[in-house]
Amino acid sequence: MDTYDIGDRPVVTATFADINGSTGVSTAVTFTVRTPAGIETAYTNTNPAVAATGSNVWTLTLPRLDTAGRWVVRAESTAGLQAAVEQSFNVRNSAIVP
């Protein structure tokens, strides 16, 4: 699990594959981000923070991290190749930023 600091803007990558490991074209993608406080925000592929870097690889550039704790990101492809992936990361408390 990755660890970041308050103020970082990590890029999350989702690579989609079907149950057999085959990759395909994902044409509609939603990233859902859950903060340590349980607040969820969805980013679709129409958002400039979401980018296709390949036919089955998508990235989300997160906004500035402002809360310490465990964050969870779920990426779902709902058109073309349909698949989902989840990942989590920790954000450390800062000794300087309140």
- Please report the DSSP string for 24-70 in residue order: --EEEEEEEEE-TT--EEEEETTSTTEEESSSSEEEEEPPPP-S-EE
Q: For residue 75, which of 43, 24, 31, 27 has the smallest C-alpha distance?
A: 31
pLDDT at 98 over 80: no
pLDDT in tens, 18-72: 777 666 677 789 999 999 999 999 999 999 999 998 778 899 999 999 999 999 9
- pLDDT-based confidence at residue 11 (cuts at 50, 70, 90): very high
pTM to 2 decimals? Answer: 0.87
DSSP 11: E
pLDDT at 95 over 90: no
Q: Which domains does the chain have, with CATH numbers?
A: 2-92 (2.60.40.1930)
